[in-house]
Amino acid sequence: MTNSFSTLLLITATALSLTGAAAFAQESGSSGIGAIRAELEQVRKDYESAIAGLETRLRQLEERQIATEQAAIELALTPVRQVGAAPLPSPSLAEDPYAAYAAPAATEAPSTGLGGGSIIQLGLSGLFAAGGSSLENAALQNLQAGGHDPNRNGFTVQNVELTIGAAVDPYFDAQANFIFLIDADGETVVELEEAYLTTRALPYGLQFKAGQFYTEFGRQNKLHPHSWSFVDQPLILSRFFGPDSLRSQGARLSWLMPTDWYSELTFAMQNASGETVTSFLFGPGEEVGGHTLTDRSARNFSDLLYSARWMNGLDLTDSISANIGISALWGPNASGRDTNTRIFGADFYAKWQPAVTQRGFPFVSLHTEVLQRRYEAGDALDPTRETLKDWGMFSQALWGFKPGWVAGLRWEYAGAKGNTALDPLRDTRKRLSPNLTWYPTEFSKLRLQYNRDWFQHLPGTPTASALWLQIEFSLGSHTAHVF
């Protein structure tokens, strides 16, 4: 292009200078005017034909250029056009990565392979601890009262959990969690931790659940050990709900209310007996606050455990979200024939995360729960009749300061009214636990925790220290990211 332009300019300039020369010649004499005129005419003709030739070339070049550009655009648009014309894929369950969450088709059995489109979610997680305390094993087991707490100097297999879950049919989802652990005597213990079905398609925001499940009380109670932020369970939960958190057989109805924010109301009925319901019927021969429990089985509806929970979830800002809940439990206890227990709780959880995060970091979270129990011990005619009043709280803060790294601090307090100093489950107890966790990936973690304990039940020994190292692996279905 530039070349043709320079040629054009050169010719124009030559032509102009020639014209100027001719004019000058005209002035200088008049004898050869005719010859000069003829010459000039010739120059003009040459010049015009040259210009015409150049214009033609220029036009040809421009046309070629436009054609090239057009071809490039056509080429670029081919994918656009192809996309527009290709048939839309039709939904097919077999290729659907969410097949496990889809309702199985009524007529056609989908592939059951555990690869890509598996319809069953299968997971195995293992949680192990190593460490030691300033106390002997026997005393340590009173301090670490949780069934999955590290409670031995040396190694503890805290929890090996097998999880199986899937959609049953268009109406139900189901899940079961089996727990394997090795107890203080070296025996392998198997527990059916949870096994329940939930409805998928009830209207009006209702959901029904039935089977064996964690009671929805507070935030911490229903967390499985591998989701805990500390190596052991809060001591007030060990006191009120026993070593394995509160769980039992029963049914639950939950209502997600049509509010502008998340507001859920839950109501459940469960069996009140067994070692996972320690504040209620528990088991004959067990002791609570010095009262020996009788064999009191369920006679009517008032002998079941009832629970209610109201949970609200709010986004306070784009980077801060909070959950606020209140929970209540009431049911019979076996210290007498007509004795009842009531437990109330309030829980608060908030999490801050900036607008820009890498792998979910950084973040800061705060979790606090307060629980209070009123336990009627002994029948009206029982001379030892009393009302046991216990309460406790825990508050924990986590700081995810760089991808994969979380620092945590937990403070706990538990106490009771009356002279309870010698009862390891009712004395005044305080515990401070700083920890540091490293998550190499979403599927493994390493945690180091220090526990500083203050208690009354060991005369002459008011405090204890312990250091625990915890390691976890997770296989199979992807770990759930729950708020």
Partner 1 sequence: MMKNFNLLSAVILLAALFAGSAGFAGSAEARVRVVTTTQDLAAIAEAIGGDDVKVESLTPGTRDPHYAVAKPSMIRRVFRADLLILIGADMEIGWLPPLLQSARNSKVLPGNPGFMDMSRFVQLLGVQSGPVSRALGDVHAKGNPHYWLDPRNGLRMARAIAARLGEIDPDNAAAYQNRFAAFARTMEIKLPQWQAALASLKGQPVIAYHKSFDYLADIFGFRIVDEVEPKPGIAPSAATLGALIQRIRREQISLLIMEPYYERRSARYLNEKTGLRAAVLPQSVGAEKSITTYFDLFDGITAAFKAAQAPQEDQ
> 266 to 325, contacts with partner 1 by CB under 8 A?
267, 302, 306, 308, 310-315, 318, 321, 323
- Of the candidates 110, 117, 115, 113, the one whose C-alpha atom is nearest the C-alpha of residue 95 is 117
Site string for partner 1, 94-113 (x = CB under 8 A): -xxxxxxxxx-x--------
Interface with partner 1 (CB under 8 A), residue from 71, 72, 192, 467: 72
Q: Which of residues 205-264 bind partner 1 (CB under 8 A)?
A: 205-207, 255-264
The rounded distance, in Å, linking the Cα atoms of 375 and 331 is: 10
Using CB under 8 A as the binding criterion, the count of chain residues that bind partner 1 stands at: 81
Which sign does the torsion angle of CA 237, 240, 245, 246 carry?
negative
Kindly state the tokens that stand for 47. Answer: 């010049």
Cα separation values, 340 from 250, 308, 419, 429, Å:
19, 16, 22, 25
Q: Return the closest-CA partner of residue 273 out of 265, 263, 285, 261.
A: 285
Contact set for partner 1, span 188-207 (CB under 8 A): 198-202, 205-207
Minimum CB–partner distance for residue 378 and partner 1 (Å): 18
CA dist 12 to 51, 53, 55, Å? Answer: 8, 13, 13
Specify the residue, 294 or 323, whose C-beta has the smaller distance to partner 1. 323
Give, as ranges, the residues between 374 and 413 that touch partner 1 (CB under 8 A): 403-404
Candidates 245-253, 271-279, 349-357, 417-425; binding stretch for partner 1 (CB under 8 A) = 349-357
Sign (positive or negative) of CA dihedral 294, 295, 301, 304 = positive
Kindly state the smallest distance separating residue 189's Cβ from partner 1, in Å.
28
Q: How far is the CB of 3 from partner 1 (least distance, A)?
A: 23
Which residue, 402 or 417, has its beta carbon nearer to partner 1? 402
CB of residue 82 to partner 1, shortest distance in Å = 8
CB proximity list for 389: less than 8 A, separation 6 or greater? 372, 373, 374, 375, 416, 417, 418
Query: 6 or 90, CB closer to partner 1?
Result: 90
- Cβ closest to partner 1, residue 109 vs residue 138: 109
445: its two tokens:
């973690």
Closer residue to partner 1 (CB): 138 or 355? 355
Per CB under 8 A, contacts with partner 1 among 73-92 are 73, 76-77, 79-80, 83-84, 86, 88-89, 91
Choose which of 149, 161, 173, 376 interacts with partner 1 (CB under 8 A).
Answer: 173
CA 400 – CA 361 distance, rounded (Å): 6
The CA-atom distances, in angstroms, between 345 and each of 281, 351, 373 are 20, 20, 9
CA distances in angstroms from 366 to 77, 321, 452, listed in the order given: 53, 11, 20
283-301 residues labelled b (16+ CB within 10 A) or e (exposed): eeeeebbebebeebeeeee
Using rule CB under 8 A, residue 65 touches partner 1: no
Chain-centroid distance, C-alpha 279: 31
Query: Which of 180, 348, 443, 450 is the binder for partner 1 (CB under 8 A)?
Result: 443
State the Cα torsion 37-43-44-48 to the nearest 10°.
160
Question: CB 140 → partner 1: shortest distance, Å?
Answer: 35
**Whole-number minimum distance, CB 84 to partner 1, in Å?**
6
Question: Residues 7 to 46: which contact partner 1 by CB under 8 A?
Answer: none
Write down the least CB distance from residue 296 to partner 1, Å: 15
| Rounded least distance, CB 37 to partner 1, Å | 54
Q: How far is the CB of 25 from partner 1 (least distance, A)?
A: 54
Other C-beta atoms lying within 10 Å of the C-beta of residue 86: 8
